[in-house]
């Protein structure tokens, strides 16, 4: 099959998502990761809109990209002026990218009622802008903004804008579901009709028809709409990593790429590069400072997670029983969860996964299941805390060798009427038979305790600076006891390679936090010693 071109707009459309922003340097770093994956086009930003995007393009011009073509994004010329005097188009040329993507209006509502111009002038804006960019030897991708809404209101005019773009040299035209309200069966029918019209009613019938899809996720259907468009002949798919974008986001390329490659046999990227998808998803979420979505298809931590004992027993015999594909194909892995729903199979699978020796089954896995279920009755939750689970199973099997031991700690919180609370922690631990006492401040008692423990351990272990907190959750187990109620604390930590969770339970929130915090450091150190 003809390969589908992947067009990434994380660095432009993705940054329109709430709370997402990248520096020019961060954009370059992400662009190189996209290039390594084999993404065909990387849209770097809108050079006419802000200095940061222009800085990115200046940096990209001096850089080398092995697989990807960098694209600058902008609009058609403004009404009533020539392209050579339009600041937006001149800025696009100044970016010196081999590819320029411009959007134009398709929906007569926007043209006549928002912009206040004639339908004829809009067609002239499309024509003049594309001709101008082609005269300057650029590959031009034309985004037909609000195409599907425009088609449904005024089919003939919406299609006329596409004809104008194609006949004046656009290398690709992209059908945009800008408001994200179109349904998959509509996308499929409209895309099919567009192909038929453009093949029969233009002077370009002897030329390959290059059409793309750009879907937004306001109905939760951006991926489905993109796939529907590909089924009707679209050769390019626009989207963002992790679906980041304005409002509800854009089509998620992390989901679309494996669907195309694995499920539909449309080549997009190589099989070797498919295995980088999970790391790329995590990398971009880290730079965006967004917590990775566990339920994200294909690459999320829960994508291939199994909890019920019957399910686990089945996948131990044949993973196809409860998995739609091999997780290794996208760089993910199978996970078996241990909880009060677990059976013997869960424990045996988990022990093997965590590298815990059950000593040829001389250790009774049923006893371990029973002990874990007792702890879960007390409030522990190990399916959400695999770091603590590993340590617990090592203790059950006498394979736990702690690299540090707590002797004591003291936490103080001070508050007066003129200042916010301040927290201080003093900690005394034993490391390799050597006692270490240190103190630290923090933004809250747990932060102070974390900082003090890091400071003490940092004298013995060198890579703790790579470990940092991702999430901290406190859950009251039973509110009937008021402020004396038992609480569960879940801490999620990460380093450059992995994410792990730990749990603590106590009537004292500091004690529960310490349990989860200590397990987090034990887990990290056990994987780096």
**pLDDT at position 343:** 61
Phi-psi region at 18: left, alpha or beta (left = phi > 0; alpha = psi -120 to 50) = beta
The mean pLDDT value for 198-207 works out to 76
> Which long-range contacts link 492-498 to residues 24+ away (Cβ below 8 Å)?
493/387, 493/467, 493/468, 493/469, 493/520, 493/523, 493/524, 494/286, 494/467, 494/468, 494/470, 495/463, 495/466, 495/467, 495/468, 495/524, 496/466, 498/527
Retrieve residue 334's tokens: 């199978």
Angle among Cα 389, 391, 393 to the nearest 5 degrees reads: 65
Q: Are 323 and 304 in contact (CB under 8 A)?
A: yes
Condensed to tens digits (0 to 9), the pLDDT of residues 161-195 reads: 999 999 999 999 999 999 999 999 999 999 999 99
**pLDDT at position 445:** 92
Neighbours of 261 (CB within 10 A): 22
Terminal-residue alpha carbon distance, the chain: 48
Condensed to tens digits (0 to 9), the pLDDT of residues 380-401 reads: 877 777 888 888 888 888 888 8
**pLDDT at position 320:** 87
Rounded Cα gap, residues 91 and 75, in angstroms: 11
199 has a pLDDT exceeding 90: no
Choice between 481 and 416, residue whose per-residue pLDDT is larger: 416
What length is written for the chain? 529
Q: Please give the backbone phi and psi of residue 238, each rounded to the nearest 5 degrees, phi first.
A: -95, 145
Rounded Cα gap, residues 408 and 429, in angstroms: 7
**pLDDT at position 432:** 85
Domains and CATH numbers, the chain: 5-269 (3.20.20.70), 305-396 (no CATH), 405-526 (3.30.160.270)
Q: Are 304 and 335 in contact (CB under 8 A)?
A: yes
> pLDDT tier at 334 (50, 70, 90 boundaries)?
confident
In whole numbers, what is the pLDDT of the chain averaged over residues? 90
477 has a pLDDT exceeding 90: no
**pLDDT at position 247:** 97
């Amino acid at each position: 099959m003809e390969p589908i071109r992947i067009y990434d707009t994380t660095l432009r459309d993705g940054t329109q998502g709430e709370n997402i922003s990248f520096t020019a340097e961060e954009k370059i770093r992400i662009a190189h990761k996209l290039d390594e994956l084999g993404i065909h086009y990387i849209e770097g930003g809108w050079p006419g809109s802000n200095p940061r995007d222009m800085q990115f393009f200046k940096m990209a011009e001096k850089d080398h990209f092995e697989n990807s073509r960098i694209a600058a994004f902008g609009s058609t010329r403004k009404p009533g002026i020539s392209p050579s005097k339009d600041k937006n188009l001149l800025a696009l040329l100044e970016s010196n990218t081999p590819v320029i993507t411009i959007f134009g209006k398709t929906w007569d509502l926007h043209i006549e009622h928002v912009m206040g111009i004639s339908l004829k002038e809009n067609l002239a804006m499309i024509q003049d802008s594309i001709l101008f960019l082609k005269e300057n030897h650029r590959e031009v991708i034309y985004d037909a903004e609000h195409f599907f809404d425009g088609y449904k209101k005024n089919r003939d005019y919406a299609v006329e804008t596409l004809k104008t773009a194609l006949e004046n040299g656009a290398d690709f035209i992209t059908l945009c579901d800008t408001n994200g309200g179109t349904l998959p069966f509509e996308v499929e029918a409209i895309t099919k009709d567009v192909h038929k019209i453009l093949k029969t009613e233009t002077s370009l019938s002897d030329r390959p028809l290059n059409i793309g899809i750009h879907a937004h996720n306001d109905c939760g259907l951006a991926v489905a709409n993109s796939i529907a468009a590909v089924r009707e002949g679209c050769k390019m798919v626009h989207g963002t990593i992790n679906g980041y974008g304005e409002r509800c986001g854009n089509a998620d390329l992390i989901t679309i790429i494996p669907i195309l490659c694995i499920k539909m046999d449309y080549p997009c990227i190589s099989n070797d590069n498919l295995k980088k998808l999970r790391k790329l998803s995590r990398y971009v979420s880290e730079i965006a400072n967004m917590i990775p979505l566990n339920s994200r298809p294909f690459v999320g931590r829960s994508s291939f997670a199994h909890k019920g004992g019957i399910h686990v027993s089945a996948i131990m015999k044949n993973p196809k029983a409860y998995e739609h594909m091999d997780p290794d194909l996208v760089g993910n892995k199978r996970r078996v969860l241990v909880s009060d729903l677990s059976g013997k199979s869960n424990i045996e699978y988990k022990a093997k996964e965590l590298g815990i020796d059950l000593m040829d089954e001389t250790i009774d896995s049923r006893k371990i299941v029973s002990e874990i279920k007792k702890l879960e009755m007390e409030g522990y939750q190990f399916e959400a805390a695999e770091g603590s689970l590993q340590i617990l199973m090592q203790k059950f099997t006498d394979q736990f060798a702690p690299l540090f031991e707590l002797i004591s700690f003291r936490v103080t919180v001070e508050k007066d009427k003129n200042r916010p609370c301040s927290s201080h922690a003093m900690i005394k631990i034993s490391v390799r038979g050597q006692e270490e006492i240190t103190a630290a401040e923090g933004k809250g008692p747990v932060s102070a305790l974390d900082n003090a423990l890091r400071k003490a351990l940092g004298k013995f272990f060198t890579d703790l600076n790579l470990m940092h907190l991702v999430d901290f959750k406190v859950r009251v187990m039973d509110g009937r006891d008021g402020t004396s109620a038992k609480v569960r604390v879940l801490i999620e930590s990460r380093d450059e390679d992995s994410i792990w969770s730990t749990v603590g339970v106590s009537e004292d929130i500091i004690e529960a936090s310490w349990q989860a915090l200590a397990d987090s450091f034990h887990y990290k150190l056990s994987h780096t010693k």
